[in-house]
C-alpha cells in the first residue's frame, strides 16, 4: 500500500509539471497562430494551424484533452484546430473537448458550455469536388463545397461522431456516440446513428 501511495504521489507531481509545460507551449502556439484567446486548460499539446487571413477566437475556460491524458477512452489523437485562409473558427466560453478535430474552411461556431467528446470531427467542407472529372484535375480544391457549421449552447457531441458541413446543432441537443450528422438538429433533441436520426426529445 505504501509503495502504491508513493507511486501515485510521483505520478501527480509529474502530471502537474507536464500541465505547466503544456500550458506554456500552448501560449506560444496560440500567439504564433494569431489566436485571440483567454484562459484555458490543456492536457497535452494540440495541433494548431491558422492560415494568414484566417480568424480563430477561443472564449474563456477552454478545456482540452490531447492524447490519452485527462480522458483515457482509447483515443490517442491530439485536438486539431485548422483554419483556412479567409475562414473563421469561434469557440465560446466553458467549452470542453477531448482529442477533437475542428477543420474550418469557411465558418465553424461553437457556443457556450458545449461538450465535444473524444475523437469528434467537425468539418465545414467536403475537401474535394463531387465531380470526378474535377477531382482528377488541378482545379479539384477550388470546387470543394463549403457551408458553415454552428453548434449552439449546451450541446453535447458524443465520442467519435462526425459533424458535416451545413449543420446546425440546436441548444441542449445531444449527439449519440459514433454518429454521422448530415443535417441540422433542432434544440432539445437526442439524435444518433449513421446518418444521425431523431431518437427522442430531452
| Per-residue pLDDT tens over the stretch 3-39 | 767 767 766 766 666 777 888 999 999 999 999 998 9
CB 151 within 8 A of CB 164: no
Looking at residue 129, its pLDDT comes to: 82
Which position among 27, 105, 113, 128 bears the catalytic label?
Answer: 128
| Closest C-alpha among 146, 142, 143, 190 to residue 165 | 146
pLDDT band at 160 (very low <50, low <70, confident <90, very high): very high
Looking at residue 11, its pLDDT comes to: 67
Beta bridge partners of 62: 40
Q: Is the pLDDT of residue 128 over 80?
A: yes
- Cell numbers representing residue 153 in the block: 449552447
The continuous run of DSSP H or E covering 90 comes out as strand 88-91
Distance CA 198, CA 19 (A): 40
| Closest C-alpha among 194, 84, 176, 201 to residue 186 | 201
DSSP-derived 3-state class of residue 98: strand
Q: From 3.40.30.10, 2.160.10.10, 1.10.10.10, 3.40.50.300, which CATH number describes the 2-201 domain?
A: 2.160.10.10
State the pTM of this model: 0.90
Q: How much is the average pLDDT of 31-48?
A: 94
Q: Which of 9-18, 49-58, 73-82, 176-185 has the lowest mean pLDDT?
A: 9-18
Looking at residue 42, its pLDDT comes to: 92
- Cell numbers representing residue 160 in the block: 467519435
Residue 76 phi, psi (nearest 5) = -110, 10
Alpha-helical segments (H) within the chain:
2-32, 132-135
CB 138 within 8 A of CB 132: no
| Catalytic site includes residue 128 | yes
The continuous run of DSSP H or E covering 104 comes out as strand 101-104
% pLDDT > 90, the chain: 71
Please write the tens of the pLDDT for every residue from 164-193.
Answer: 999 999 999 999 999 999 999 999 999 999
Contacts (Cβ under 8 Å, ≥6 apart) of 28: none
- Cell numbers representing residue 70 in the block: 485527462
% pLDDT > 70, the chain: 95
Looking at residue 13, its pLDDT comes to: 66
Looking at residue 141, its pLDDT comes to: 76
| Cell 465531380, located at residue | 131
Amino acid at each position: 500500500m505504501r509503495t502504491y501511495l508513493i507511486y501515485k504521489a510521483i505520478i501527480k507531481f509529474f502530471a502537474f509539471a507536464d500541465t505547466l509545460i503544456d500550458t506554456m507551449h500552448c501560449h506560444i502556439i496560440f500567439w504564433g497562430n494569431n489566436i485571440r484567446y483567454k484562459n484555458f486548460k490543456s492536457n497535452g499539446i494540440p495541433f494548431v494551424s491558422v492560415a494568414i487571413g484566417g480568424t480563430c477566437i477561443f472564449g474563456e475556460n477552454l478545456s482540452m484533452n490531447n492524447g490519452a491524458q485527462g480522458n483515457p477512452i482509447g483515443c490517442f489523437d491530439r485536438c486539431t484546430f485548422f483554419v483556412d485562409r479567409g475562414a473563421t473558427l469561434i469557440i465560446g466560453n466553458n467549452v470542453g473537448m477531448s482529442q477533437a478535430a475542428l477543420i474550418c474552411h469557411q465558418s465553424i461556431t461553437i457556443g457556450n458550455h458545449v461538450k465535444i467528446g473524444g475523437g469528434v470531427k467537425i468539418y465545414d467542407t467536403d475537401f474535394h469536388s463531387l465531380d470526378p472529372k474535377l477531382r482528377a484535375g488541378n482545379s479539384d480544391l477550388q470546387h470543394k463545397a463549403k457551408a458553415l457549421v454552428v453548434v449552439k449552447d449546451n450541446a453535447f457531441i458524443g465520442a467519435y461522431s462526425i459533424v458535416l458541413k451545413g449543420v446546425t446543432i440546436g441548444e441542449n441537443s445531444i449527439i449519440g456516440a459514433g454518429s454521422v450528422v448530415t443535417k441540422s438538429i433542432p434544440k432539445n433533441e437526442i439524435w444518433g446513428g449513421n446518418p444521425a436520426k431523431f431518437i427522442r426529445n430531452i
